[in-house]
Every structure is written in structure tokens, then in C-alpha cells.
Structure 1
Amino acid sequence: MPELHFKQALLPGGWLCDVLVSIKGGHIAAVSTGVAASDACERHAIGLPGLPNLHSHGFQRGMAGLTEIRSAPSDSFWTWRDLMYRFVDRMTPDDVEAITAQAYVEMLEAGFTRVGEFHYLHHDPSGVPYDDIAELAGRIAAAAKASGIGLTLLPVFYAHGGFGGRAPDPGQRRFLNTVDRFARLVDGSRRAVAECDSANVGIAPHSLRAITPDELAAIVPLGGGAPVHIHVAEQTREVDDCIAWSGARPVRWLLDHAPVDHRWCLIHATHMTGEESRAMAVTGAVAGLCPMTEANLGDGIFDTPTFGASGGRFGVGTDSNVLIGVADELRQLEYSQRLALRVRNVMATPRIASTGRALFDAALAGAAQALGVAGGLAPGLAADIVSLDAERSALAGRSGDAILDGWIFGSPRPLVDCVWTSGRKVVTKGRHHLAESVAAMFRRRLEGLLAE
């Protein structure tokens, strides 16, 4: 039974010293505290639970840095989306697998141990399904299996180009399905992840603009009790268009017409009224915040104080994968609140004075719920564990919650030392074991795409 010993580790009840974690069958078999390290233990200074990344489009890692040129008098999410469609047009299944694998390796090196892959690229470049309708889902599963990251695969239903069943745009042809074909895709996705450790499959209606009310009602039961994720209220234009279509704002419409509960994750939910924020919090649904992407796309700032005051839960995701980092997402979330409100330490709570600890605890609980798993260092849970390099200057003299504050707010570079997923060590001294080979394939595929 492999054993890991940490001088300090963050357990569900808080920080404790001399923590021994025993692993069996990919899960934590036992956690002991106040125990001296034996010669048989693998020894580390700082242990943390791995953080789930609740929202990713893996293939978009290949676009990072390619859209930072003004393409219109007023660039926006919508002009960025046009560039994304052109990038997608050229991608082969091999491209998807290689780029996604690179994203997953970088997530693991950053301290993410599980990913919610919001998977909407389904068909060939002409929009015709592959012989195996879940071909690209299988490529995502292959990238997850090779990298070792835990996977919650979220096949996306996408049928329309705007509210009220508007005809789709040509650039969306690779995403589209009918309800019946989507049911086959969900079944195929479950087969695709069967050989991945601890994988599960949910469903994802893309957005209210991409699905009609009847279609939404038809696909939600396909998930059973699994996670349900949806983009909502990311952009002000989306809010205006929803009001023009239905007379209601997107989140309000969703809460009134769908069975939103603890299984649901509302991605972004950026533009809500106070009433919507409070109503969403009551349902138990998770807000899927993607602070780096939301800043990159100019989406806006989520009203975390109102949502949190009503007991709302949130997690973070890397979304477009323009930059992948646990500390980056959490820091950007806090700093966006400071800029909006002109105060400091917004995310700290009466119970937890440390902003880093409050951010980490909330993101761990919310993202785990959103991906249909449990997170933390406790017996019976998956052995998804991260160690930090205590020799880095940002952690000098730190203990307890000050470690998280130093990691998130005080380091110019990642502090992750080692990472285990389902008990398997995949990162050592900050580098994934397949980093070089995965990066070489990524470069080859991307050079081919950009040369076209």
C-alpha cells in the first residue's frame, strides 16, 4: 500500500502536521496525523487536495495567443467566436487529441487533477457525423487516459444559431445534433470513457440560444442523475436577445422553466440581477466561473458577494485555456472583485480570514459538486493529491493558510511539485512524465494547422 507523508497537509477539518496518507486501488485508504515518516514513505513538505477544473474546451488551447489582434473596430466575444469557428474548420481528430492532451498535461502541472470537458466539436469538417458518432469524444478520453487526469465528459447538445430556434450559422455545422442523434452521442461517450480511471459522463445543453425549450426538456433526462452544465448570461447581448425572445433574462428563464438543482452548473452566469443571484443560490446549482477567459473575452465580472451571501456555490474552470493555472484563476477572481468594488480581500469570510484559503475551499467544494465527484483528502475519496515545493521563496516561513495565500498571490511561477491522480503519480518536480512527447506532438499538429 503506497504511503505519502506530508509535514503539513490540508484535510477537510483544516491544516494538520505529520500527515500520513495511505493509498489503495486509486483511493485514499487511510489518513493518519501526528505520525513520523518511516523509511518506506514518500516524503513531501506540503499536501493539498487536487482541484477540479469544472469547464474546459481542450482544443482551444491551440488558439492561445492567436486572437490578440484587433479584427474589427470594436472587438468582442462575438468577433473572437468567428475566429474560433475558422480554427475549428481545419481540425482533424488527430489534431483534437494532440491539442487536448497538451492542455491536460498543463492542467496537471498546474494542480488541476480533474477536468469537466464541455465537448461540442462532434462531426467532420463538412458537418457529417463520423462513422462512430463519438469519435471525437473518444479522442478526448484518449487524451485524458494518457495524461492521467480525471475526466467528467460533458457532450454538448447544440442545434440552433440563436434564441427561438434560429437556423445555425455555417461555422456551427460541426457542433449540431438532433435529440435522437444526441442520445446516441451520449451513449457513445459513455463507451468512450469506459477505460479511463474514475471517469463519468454528464450532459450539456450548450446555451439557451442553441436549444429550444422542447429540446431542453427532451435531453435533460438523458443525463439521469449526472451533472448538467449550460452556458448562460455570459454576454450582455445574450441577455438582451433572451429578453427580446422570451421577455425574461436568461438565468430567470432557466430557473422558471428547467429543473435546476444541485446537479446543474451554470457556466459564467456573469450578468445576473441581485434577484437572479439569490434565486440561483437557493437551487443549490454551482456557478461555473472562468475568470481568466472572462477577462480575456471582455465578458464582465460575476457578482460574487451577492451570490455568496445567499449561500451560492462556485468553482473555477479554464474554459478557452488561454492560460492554465490554479493560482491564476483564483487570483483573477479575487482581483476582479477588488477592481469592481474598490476594496480588498473580498472573498475572505467571517469564518476564514485568509483569502487564499477561502477561495481554495470554495472552488474545491463547488467544482467537485459540479463534476459529480467528492474532493478532499479523506478516506474513501480518490487519491487526487498535489504537493507544493516548500523551497520556493513565495512559501518561505509559511505554514497553514499562509501557504495558500503565498501560492495564489505571491508567486511569479507555479509552485506545484508533484501530482497524483487516482493514486498514480503523473507530475514530478513540476513536470508531467509525458510533457516532452506530448509537447512535441502538439507542436507538429499546430504547425500543420497554422500552415494551412
Structure 2
Amino acid sequence: MTQPDGIRSEGDPASEAQNLLRNGIWAETLVAPEGVRERVRLVVADGRIAAVEEGVAPQEGDRRLRLVVPGFVNAHSHAFHRVLRGRTHDDGGDFWRWREAMYRAAAELTPESYGDLASAVFREMVEAGWTAVGEFHYVHHRPDGRPYDPPHAMELALAAAAREVGIRLVLLDTCYLTADVDGRALEPRQRRFGDGDADGWLARRQALRSAIGDDPLVTIGAAIHSVRAVPLPAIARIAAALPPDVPLHVHVAEQPRETADFLARHGETPVAALDRLGVLGPRTTLVHGTHLSPEDVARIGGAGATVALCPTTEADLGDGIGPARALADAGARIALGSDGQSVIDPLLEMRGLEAGERLASGRRGRFTPRELLAAATEHGATSLGLPPTRFRVGDPADLVELDPDSPRTRGAVPAQLVLTATASDVRTTVVAGREVHRA
């Protein structure tokens, strides 16, 4: 298996990836959810934190790091959108024009090309500090809609890419059944997304779980593409059939037009419909949530759902600025994702979340640095059904070292470094106790 650039194979006795398993990780400064701690030693066993020692010196053989934060968790990704970066900026338009280019890109994918592309995208993610990713995946079949033989070729290519790079992957297998809110049949360019009906999708997802098997790095979640791509009876069927511990994601209110069309047809907002069908809850993540009514915000917060915001993509597509502070105040968790891969940088997503709030409100400090870090780490993990890393015994040994002395970060107090650093300041990325990236 190919190793990420700069990391030796496990058979090399000089490999520091092995040292992370055999010895400890010592951090000069550790930025934890509870606050900043100094001179912390983490003992790692079986990919988890087995002991935490504070105020201690490093031991011989420890991997010594400067400033450490929990591993960043990417709650929403479409890996294949990466091919559009830098190729859609000269024709103006809006989300709907951009979508035409996205369809053309989706039509070109094969299992082989998707595997190569995903490997490159996932490698860029670990180099930027993402240690886990929720891949919102709907390109299931051949372009004419026929299943691959053997089945699950696209999904298995994504899983293989994640294993190769060493990133945690939650494959959010996505149901996509209709062309629009009126229930029209899929267009030819959408046929490879569909499984006929909700039961067809449920059966394929169940078979995919068996094909993936018991894998510590790859798990299977679920997604409903949107209320325009899955009719309400099918949404109700899916929500009732999925086990309650399976994370369920859905695009909601990214564009005003989709909400207006749904409201005209059904007499309620998409969020109201999801709430009525019993979909909203702690396991549910609504992606984007840019154009929500105050009543929608109250429903989402009251259900304890997560909203995955993707500030760099929402800016790239001209989507708008969502009511992030209002959602958090109502009780929703805020997570972050790279979505269209216009930028792969968790620190810029954090900064974009706060910047959008400042632009919309005219006020600074709408989210504290601690809240921003939680959005990029703990809340993303919860969104994907993963245990978060809080640097406690039993937590996953997923962490990132940032450079506190770069031209961007020098002089920042540790707790506020997330508002000065970028992916260029990521020095080391560790997933399950294994060093998968070192600058």
C-alpha cells in the first residue's frame, strides 16, 4: 500500500509512525476544549489515548510536538468537486450555472479515476489537518444507471483511497431518486445517482455495509440528498428504516429557489416537513441551512440537530450567509465542511464562519475561538457518529500540530491561533496514533 508523501513504511525501523504506537506523544502546548495546557504527554495504545500526563518532561522515544489541537473533522465533502477548482470563475452566473459544470464532471467519473482523484483529495485533506471526512456520496452507478459489476465499485474506490492516505472516512451513502420537488424522473445526467426507490437504496446500502466489512477507518453513514431529490414518503421510509445510531445528513436551504419551490408545492418549508416526518434529531445533520426562517431555526435547535456549514464553498458559489449564531443560540451544533473543495483548509473554514457573522451583524467575536475549534472538531465528529477527541483517556488519538512561530502565527496567544493559522501551518497530522503527514 502506498504511503503518504514523507512517511516511511511501517517496516522501516526508523519510522516515526511506529514510535507513535510504541511510545508517547509529548506536546509543549495543548489546546484542549477545556483550555490550554502545557507540557502534556499522551500515551497511545490501539489508536486511542491510554493515559494523559500533565506538566511532565518528554521521555526518550516520544514524538515531540509544539502546539497541538484535536484533529479536524470534515463534516461535509464532495471529493469529485475538486476537479472544478479554478475552472468555473470566468462565466459569472450562480449556483445553478455552476451545477451544470458539476454534472459534466460527474458524468466523466469511473471507479479508477474516482479512486485516483479521491486519493489526491484525501491526501490534501490530511496535509491540511483534516483527520476525518464525511463523504456525501451519490455517484453510485454507471452513467446509464446500470450497477457496476462487481457492485459498489465507486464506493469501494473511495474506501481504498481513504485507507491508502490514512484518513477516517464516514461514507455518507446518499439516496437520490427524483429530478426536482415535483417528483419528475431523473434526467439522463442524473441516472447514475439513483436506486429506483427508497427500498432499492436501503437494500444497496445494506449490501455496501457488508462489502466494506469491519474497518477501523471506514464506516457507512446515510444521507438524503435533498427534499428536491427524495420525495417525502421516501424520506419517511428511510428515516424509519435506518437504525437510530446511523448518522443521517441532508442538504437543506442552500438556495432560496429550492425552498420557494418546495413551499409552493407542499405549503411548508423543507425543515418543517423534515420535522413533521420525525427526521430532525440529534443524529441529523442539515447541510448549509443558509436560507432559514426563524421558525426553521427554532425547530432545528429544539431538535438538537447539527448544521454543517461550508463557508468557503458558500462564498465560492454565492450562496449567502447562514444564521449560524442564531442556530447555535437555539441549541443546534455547528459543524464545518470543505464541500466543493474550492479550498481545503479547516482553519479557513473556522475563520469564514466567524467572518460571515461579523459581516452580517457588524459585530466582532460572534463565535469565541473555543467555539470555532469545537465546530471544526467535536461537533464534526458528533455529526459523523464518531467519538470526538478531547484529549481524555479513551479518546481517539487524532491530533494536529500547528506551527506557533510562522509568519502568520507568531505572536498569537495559543487559544486564538485558530484565527491566525492556515493549512500552511500544519506540521503534523496523526490519525489513530499513526503519523499520516509531516511537513
Q: Same fold (TM over 0.5)?
A: yes
Check conservation: 2:95, 2:317, Cα contact below 8 A.
Answer: yes
What is the alpha-carbon distance in structure 2 between the residues aligned to residue 281 and residue 269 of structure 1? 12
Check conservation: 1:50, 1:112, Cα contact below 8 A.
Answer: yes
Do structure 1's residue 59 and structure 2's residue 80 form an aligned pair? yes
- Partner in structure 1 of residue 232 of structure 2: 213
- Partner in structure 2 of residue 97 of structure 1: 115
Do structure 1's residue 80 and structure 2's residue 98 form an aligned pair? yes
Instruction: Give the counterpart of 1:173 among 173, 191, 197.
Output: 191
- Report deviation, 1:220: 2.3
What is the alpha-carbon distance in structure 1 between the residues aligned to residue 273 and residue 428 of structure 2? 44
Check conservation: 1:137, 1:192, Cα contact below 8 A.
Answer: no
Check conservation: 1:141, 1:192, Cα contact below 8 A.
Answer: no
What is the alpha-carbon distance in structure 1 between the residues aligned to residue 409 and residue 60 of structure 2? 26
What is the alpha-carbon distance in structure 1 between the residues aligned to residue 33 and residue 416 of structure 2? 17
- Partner in structure 1 of residue 267 of structure 2: 247
- Partner in structure 1 of residue 221 of structure 2: 202
What is the alpha-carbon distance in structure 2 between the residues aligned to residue 181 and residue 240 of structure 1? 29
SS at match of 2:420: helix
After superposition, give the CA deviation of every residue in 1:86-135 in whole Å (9 maximum; x if it has no partner): 11112211111111111111111111100001010001122211123311
Check conservation: 1:151, 1:200, Cα contact below 8 A.
Answer: yes
- Partner in structure 2 of residue 145 of structure 1: 163
After superposition, give the CA deviation of every residue in 1:135-173 in whole Å (9 maximum; x if it has no partner): 111011001000100011111100101114222222111
- Partner in structure 1 of residue 406 of structure 2: 392
- Partner in structure 1 of residue 338 of structure 2: 318
SS at match of 1:202: strand
Matches within 5 A, 1:300-319: 300-319=320-339
Matches within 5 A, 1:405-416: 405-407=419-421, 414-416=424-426
- Partner in structure 2 of residue 443 of structure 1: none
- Partner in structure 2 of residue 426 of structure 1: 436
What is the alpha-carbon distance in structure 2 between the residues aligned to residue 134 and residue 184 of structure 1? 12
Check conservation: 1:287, 1:314, Cα contact below 8 A.
Answer: yes
Kindly provide the amino acid, as one letter, of the partner of residue 186 in structure 1: R
Kindly provide the amino acid, as one letter, of the partner of residue 329 in structure 1: E
- Partner in structure 2 of residue 238 of structure 1: 258
What is the alpha-carbon distance in structure 1 between the residues aligned to residue 155 and residue 322 of structure 2? 31
SS at match of 1:190: helix
Check conservation: 1:133, 1:185, Cα contact below 8 A.
Answer: no
What is the alpha-carbon distance in structure 2 between the residues aligned to residue 206 and residue 258 of structure 1? 17
Kindly provide the amino acid, as one letter, of the partner of residue 229 in structure 1: H
Kindly provide the amino acid, as one letter, of the partner of residue 20 in structure 1: R
- Report deviation, 1:293: 0.8
SS at match of 2:436: strand
Do structure 1's residue 188 and structure 2's residue 240 form an aligned pair? no
What is the alpha-carbon distance in structure 2 between the residues aligned to residue 258 and residue 191 of structure 1? 28
Do structure 1's residue 109 and structure 2's residue 109 form an aligned pair? no
Instruction: Give the counterpart of 1:23 among 22, 25, 44.
Output: 44
Check conservation: 1:149, 1:421, Cα contact below 8 A.
Answer: yes
What is the alpha-carbon distance in structure 1 between the residues aligned to residue 241 and residue 160 of structure 2? 24
Check conservation: 2:236, 2:279, Cα contact below 8 A.
Answer: no
Q: CA 1:428 to 1:192, structure 2 compared with 1: closer, same or farther past 3 Å?
A: farther
After superposition, give the CA deviation of every residue in 1:192-234 in whole Å (9 maximum; x if it has no partner): 4336434321111110011112211222244312100000111
Kindly provide the amino acid, as one letter, of the partner of residue 219 in structure 2: N
TM-score (norm 1): 0.88
- Report deviation, 1:425: 0.6
Do structure 1's residue 404 and structure 2's residue 414 form an aligned pair? no
TM-score (norm 2): 0.91
Kindly provide the amino acid, as one letter, of the partner of residue 333 in structure 1: L
Check conservation: 2:428, 2:437, Cα contact below 8 A.
Answer: yes
Q: Gaps (5+ residues) in structure 2?
A: 1-21
Q: Gaps (5+ residues) in structure 1?
A: 349-355, 430-452
Do structure 1's residue 39 and structure 2's residue 92 form an aligned pair? no
- Partner in structure 2 of residue 362 of structure 1: 375
- Partner in structure 2 of residue 447 of structure 1: none
SS at match of 1:155: strand
- Report deviation, 1:52: 0.6
- Report deviation, 1:343: 2.0
After superposition, give the CA deviation of every residue in 1:246-274 in whole Å (9 maximum; x if it has no partner): 01111122112233110000011111111
What is the alpha-carbon distance in structure 1 between the residues aligned to residue 304 and residue 276 of structure 2? 15
Check conservation: 1:265, 1:288, Cα contact below 8 A.
Answer: yes
After superposition, give the CA deviation of every residue in 1:307-348 in whole Å (9 maximum; x if it has no partner): 122122110001111110011111111112222222222223
Matched residue count: 415
Identical pairs, percent:
35
> What root-mean-square deviation, in Å, do the aligned CA atoms of Structure 1 and Structure 2 show?
1.6
SS at match of 2:377: helix
Kindly provide the amino acid, as one letter, of the partner of residue 10 in structure 1: V
What is the alpha-carbon distance in structure 1 between the residues aligned to residue 431 and residue 240 of structure 2? 30
- Partner in structure 2 of residue 450 of structure 1: none
What is the alpha-carbon distance in structure 1 between the residues aligned to residue 165 and residue 349 of structure 2? 21
